Structure 1
């Protein structure tokens, strides 16, 4: 985001240097603030729209869809701040003129339609809509289902903002770079907005399937298989969006395993919220489902020494890794030592313990350690440091609660271990 801000600031600075007046009055500086906050807010929104369509090349560059969503959120916050400053700078001229503090330079009324005034009206109403949209999104005052529907409105707001921006430009030689940047961002953002409004996002990664097997665990988890009608692009550790055509928006779930020959996708879900509880209790064989994926960069590390931590249902990507390693379909030859911690509340909720034991017996360099919280077995950074012989050259792959991740990172870094070796996905999609 800093690079983007720097690039947008550079475009404004070039325009500023080519627009220096004989005298620097209030209205010159007001216009420069409007131009600066305008390109910052529009640039942030344009990139946010681009991230929203989930392009594969950006996912690779940003190291996963979860990082893209985090940047998307930060860009939204940046847009909110910059747009607020843009609106205040615009209104300040009118307020101060009415108060008699400054005197507006004489500007003859242009003949015909006042396109500039129309552009201002469009921009102002788009700003008010964006304020409501951003606050509702950031404060999480609506359900995930309504949040996804609400997010569709972002496309409409952006198109209105693009119209405002294009109509507000003066198209002069000294503002050419600025004008080109605004038009280019408008075209990219509007294209992305149309993809969103027509539900075309991720269409090249969607396959249709049928739920063919359902198994429930301890009344709060379900393990099921989906047979899809065509192959899916997938790497072990990735997740997919599932749409059961039940009136709910697609939700992301880690793929436990994918059989390419049989075209069978394996998913495990624990009841952690309203939607997942509904899925656990009501999912049946024969249900139709649309699968979109795979997404994510939670992939096998190439470090010689590794620590894996799967907490609760967060064990699922590690099962995918082990299945791949055990079958030989994933050439994982660099690892010499892997200590795998499976953390669960109790034996009843350690749903995959037999499967993990069976898989790790087939892979000599993977050591499985099962920790049950109800028995007082809690994973600590000190235990990891001891088992890794106090060295600092090892990776930690983690999937589980965010607070647990932060606790481990903080404790491990105190021993001189570098936090850049900690790999986990920020599984928050809003």
Structure 2
């Protein structure tokens, strides 16, 4: 082999490995199956799909007609509309689904359903003897737009599912989904179908389309640009090994939250203005906010250099249904945190009584090494005061968290009958949830802190720095902040 070819082939091989990642990167994640009240959200969605099928049922057996093709086409529009409505991040959607993580799971799967149903619709003849939606010219134009909507939807959903794009580019492409939705909706309104546009069913589907457009406008224009959240300023940034601690002071009415909840942080800093969710690590009785931000990508890597004390920020929230404390009568409580997953439990420490004869919560903190044991002095002080029973697991010290080591630490009763709260890496949370169920835990609380979801490796640290070096990217970021804040670029 020519020596000049070896570096090129080596670079190509390295790029391929980076692009493909590990096998585990291609395994989609699933939130725990909802139960009880949390089934209301999925059942509501199913009910709207069933209702929307009714006007087509009478035509399914008509010879020469393809009402089924029209049915799946309209259901595709319904699925897209639901994705926009769920993206608003409302309190009622959290209540119906049992947490924002499950709301976003439904959001993502509805996107997949929309793609499948649109493909099905395109493969069908869609010929029915019904009511024209508009004049032939408008109907033909609608058919043309539908032909554009199909590949656009496929591409944007594919980009959304694959995690190759950094968060900021992913958010931009996600916002473009309104285009295939609008084109498909126009096609539906102008096409021939079993009902008129001003009939009861026509008004129902008009409401479906309007709900999708309104949901998009509330999220993208309202919540992301106008009503961005509670105003704060950066009070302090404290670097830690593998993480950065951010302290904020309110610039108006402070946020109200409960231990275990999280919020979206929107820094008004060029290049870092996109929102990111973090658990709140502050005692709810205090007005300020504290976030422990793990270094995971180019956004978190830039924090120390790009953010300064006094910079503006907005905080949207709070969100989350994580029950740190058991409901009802006192029950044995076990908190298990992995790395920076300690943050929701920090917010609860000051609400615990000191030594009082009552069994304190057991806090299990699994870390990679001693340096990654965030807020260690704070946690150990709470243990010394009798607020918690503390157990550390340190992988580098030869004491990793495993099923055997955990059960040995907890004693004969293990997790039986306990109220178990989990927070940490997704893989750790999943196997601990299964273990807790096998052990007979009374309740198991966790939230899948991965609102983006998808498959493939996250290439933020590879692509992000290249984007930051582009003058146009920085100019657009500064212009966006300028327009929102009313002041010129730095």
2:245 counterpart residue number: 223
Q: What does residue range 382-397 of structure 1 map to in structure 2 within 5 Å?
A: 382-385=404-407, 387=410, 389-390=413-414, 392-397=416-421
Deviation, 1:17, is 4.3
1:161 counterpart residue number: 184
Deviation, 1:179, is 2.7
Structure 1 CA distance for aligned equivalents of residues 227 and 435 of structure 2 = 42
User: Is it true that 1:272 corresponds to 2:307 in the alignment?
Assistant: no
Structure 1 CA distance for aligned equivalents of residues 90 and 134 of structure 2 = 45
Deviation, 1:39, is 2.8
Asked if 1 retains the 8 angstrom alpha-carbon contact of 2:134 and 2:190, the reply is no
Alpha carbons of 1:324 and 1:121: their partners in 2 closer, same or farther (altered >3 Å)? farther
Per-residue deviation, residues 238-287 of structure 1 (Å, max 9, x unmatched): 112112222331111111105655x3111211212221121145433222
2:342 counterpart residue number: 315
Asked if 2 retains the 8 angstrom alpha-carbon contact of 1:238 and 1:298, the reply is yes
- TM-score scaled by structure 2? 0.74
Structure 2 CA distance for aligned equivalents of residues 358 and 11 of structure 1 = 57
Per-residue deviation, residues 330-354 of structure 1 (Å, max 9, x unmatched): xxx9x84521101111222213111
Per-residue deviation, residues 113-141 of structure 1 (Å, max 9, x unmatched): 53222222222212221111111111223
Per-residue deviation, residues 172-215 of structure 1 (Å, max 9, x unmatched): 37995643331111111111122234243596561222111222
2:195 counterpart residue number: 172
- TM-score scaled by structure 1? 0.83
Structure 1: gaps of 5 or more residues: 94-103, 328-332
Asked if 1 retains the 8 angstrom alpha-carbon contact of 2:55 and 2:194, the reply is no
Of residues 38, 54, 57 in structure 2, which corresponds to 1:14? Answer: 54
Q: What does residue range 133-282 of structure 1 map to in structure 2 within 5 Å?
A: 133-168=156-191, 170=193, 172=195, 178-201=201-224, 206-218=229-241, 220-230=242-252, 231-245=254-268, 246-248=270-272, 249-258=274-283, 263-282=287-306
Structure 2 CA distance for aligned equivalents of residues 299 and 391 of structure 1 = 17
1:400 counterpart residue number: 424
Q: CA RMSD in A?
A: 3.1
SS of structure 2 residue aligned to 1:233: coil
Alpha carbons of 1:415 and 1:195: their partners in 2 closer, same or farther (altered >3 Å)? closer
Structure 2: gaps of 5 or more residues: 1-40, 453-490
Aligned residues: 401
Of residues 377, 395, 399 in structure 2, which corresponds to 1:377? Answer: 399
Asked if 2 retains the 8 angstrom alpha-carbon contact of 1:156 and 1:193, the reply is no
Per-residue deviation, residues 91-126 of structure 1 (Å, max 9, x unmatched): 8x7xxxxxxxxxx99x9x999653222222222212
Structure 2 CA distance for aligned equivalents of residues 255 and 199 of structure 1 = 24
Per-residue deviation, residues 367-398 of structure 1 (Å, max 9, x unmatched): 11111111122223345555261563222211
Structure 2 CA distance for aligned equivalents of residues 400 and 20 of structure 1 = 50
1:96 counterpart residue number: none
SS of structure 2 residue aligned to 1:189: helix
**283-292 or 198-207, which moves further after superposition?**
198-207
Deviation, 1:78, is 0.9
1:98 counterpart residue number: none
Q: What does residue range 411-426 of structure 1 map to in structure 2 within 5 Å?
A: 411-417=435-441, 421-426=443-448
